[in-house]
Structure 1
Amino acid sequence: MKTILITGCSSGYGLATARHFHAQGWNVIASMRTPRTDLLPPSDRLRILPLDVTRSDSIAQALQTAGPIDVLVNNAGLGLFGAFEATPMATVRDIFDTNTFGTMAVTQAVLPQMRDRRAGLVVNVTSSATLAPMPLVAAYTASKTAIEGFTASLAFELEAFGVRVKLVEPGYAPTTQFTANGAERMQGLIPPAYAPCAQSVFAALGQPAAVTTEQDVAEAVWAAVNDASARLRYAAGADAVALAGAHGAGTLAH
């Protein structure tokens, strides 16, 4: 029976992925900064661990408690919506600390055991914003795009050791807590000069042609984990699948 460790399981994609893998019979280690035992069913195949991906001591403690891991899913992330001009660099660094450096740090900590076993898989969850950039999410998109490049290179680097690395790229998911969780750090990030742009973006998001659900992402992670091929990217959600197709065909417009 294989074991999967998923970061950022308090809501959204991480919670759905933990539930999905548990339902499929896996041992699941659901990690979150502030553990909550009411989110997942009691089970001898499920453990909830505290893990703050921005703290090396927290990462080390979580991995020591977790024991051998077959699959790591780096899902923990922060959202940010606002004009880059108005975004304090301290906020940009916070976004990178979690989305980029947190993903790298947890991956780096897990790799020795996978390399020694010559087996293992790392799945990094990014965003379809890396396929089709949109306004007012420049810092967030940059943090996720960095992980796209990191993952693509790392996949080659670890190939000789039998360790695989893959990307899951979710689309726009209005039912997640992306906005609610970031409301405080987003205050004041839409100056009057950017209001027309923001209104246009909000209008488009209010009438999407297609969206992504949490279950879409869980199923994309499941597909990535169970695909033994060298495929790197897995779009999650109807909108992300459409963007990935257009991106591959070179038809995306600015």
Structure 2
Amino acid sequence: MKTVLITGSSSGYGLETARHFHQRGWIVIATMRNPRTDILPASECIRVLPLDVTSATSIAALIEAAGPIDVLVNNAGIGIVGAFEATPMEHVRRVFETNTFGTMAMTQAVIPQMRERRSGVIVNVTSSATLAPMPLAAAYTASKQAIEGFTGSLAHELAAFDVRAKLVEPGYAPTTRFAHNTPVSVMDLIPPGYADFAQPIFAGYANPPLITKESDVAEAVFLAANDASDRLRYPAGADAVALAEAA
């Protein structure tokens, strides 16, 4: 059996992806900041381990405990919505520490074993915001766009060792998980001058014409993990597919 390691597995896409791989006979290493064993079925094929992707010590401990990894899914992330003008740089840095540098650090940690085995897949979960940037999400979009370029370049350099790098681009999903992980209240980042501009945008976010389901993302990640071709991007959800086709 193959082993997949998934970051950010406590809820949302990560949790659904862990369940998806487990149901298909994989050994799943589900990681989260605060491990919970009540959200995944008890099984010798599921291990729930602690991980803070912003901590080098935490990453090193995880890699040692995890053992050989066939597929890494970099899913852990935080969101931030608001006017960039009003967004403190400390919050911008926090978003990049998790979404960008956390993904890079985890990737760097697993490459040696995959390169030595000449086998492995790294799947980085970004966002359809990289296909069509959204207003009031500049810092978040930038953090994910960086991973798009990073993964495209990485795919070329790892191909020489039969290791693949892939991108899964989820469409829009107004989940409570995204809001919960935001480092600051949305309303704190909407100055008075932006109120008229922001109101219809937030209304559109609350009632989008298309919504990406967590199962859509899990299926796209599973497809990417098992695709031996040199395909790079896997949009997830009808809206992401439409954006990708229009790009």
TM over 0.5: yes
Amino acid at match of 2:26: W
> Which residue of structure 2 lines up, in the alignment, with residue 218 of structure 1?
218
SS of corresponding position for 1:10: coil
Question: What is the TM-score with the length of structure 2 in the denominator?
Answer: 0.98
Conservation of the 8 A alpha-carbon contact between 1:14 and 1:76: yes
Alignment of 1:240-251 (within 5 A): 240-247=240-247
Q: Distance in 1 between matches of 2:246 and 2:176?
A: 25
Conservation of the 8 A alpha-carbon contact between 1:59 and 1:106: yes
Deviation at 1:155, TM superposition (A): 0.1
Q: How many residues align?
A: 247
Q: Distance in 1 between matches of 2:176 and 2:237?
A: 13
Q: Distance in 1 between matches of 2:230 and 2:193?
A: 46
Question: Could you say what the CA RMSD is over the residues aligned between the two structures, in angstroms?
Answer: 1.0
> Which residue of structure 2 lines up, in the alignment, with residue 90 of structure 1?
90
Deviation at 1:211, TM superposition (A): 1.0
Q: Distance in 2 between matches of 1:175 and 1:91?
A: 20
> Which residue of structure 2 lines up, in the alignment, with residue 238 of structure 1?
238
Q: Distance in 1 between matches of 2:119 and 2:195?
A: 50
5+ residue gaps, structure 1, are 248-254
Q: What is the identity percentage for the equivalent residue pairs of Structure 1 and Structure 2? A: 70
Q: Distance in 1 between matches of 2:15 and 2:173?
A: 14
5+ residue gaps, structure 2, are none
Deviates more, 1:135-144 or 1:201-210: 201-210
Alignment of 1:7-156 (within 5 A): 7-156=7-156
4+ aligned runs moved over 3 Å, structure 1: 183-187
Deviation at 1:76, TM superposition (A): 0.2
Alignment deviations for residues 42-92 of structure 1 (CA, whole Å, 9 cap, x no partner): 000000000000000000000100000000000000000010000000000
Q: Distance in 1 between matches of 2:52 and 2:212?
A: 26
Q: Distance in 2 between matches of 1:41 and 1:138?
A: 38
Q: Distance in 1 between matches of 2:228 and 2:245?
A: 22
Deviates more, 1:100-109 or 1:202-211: 202-211
Conservation of the 8 A alpha-carbon contact between 2:9 and 2:76: yes
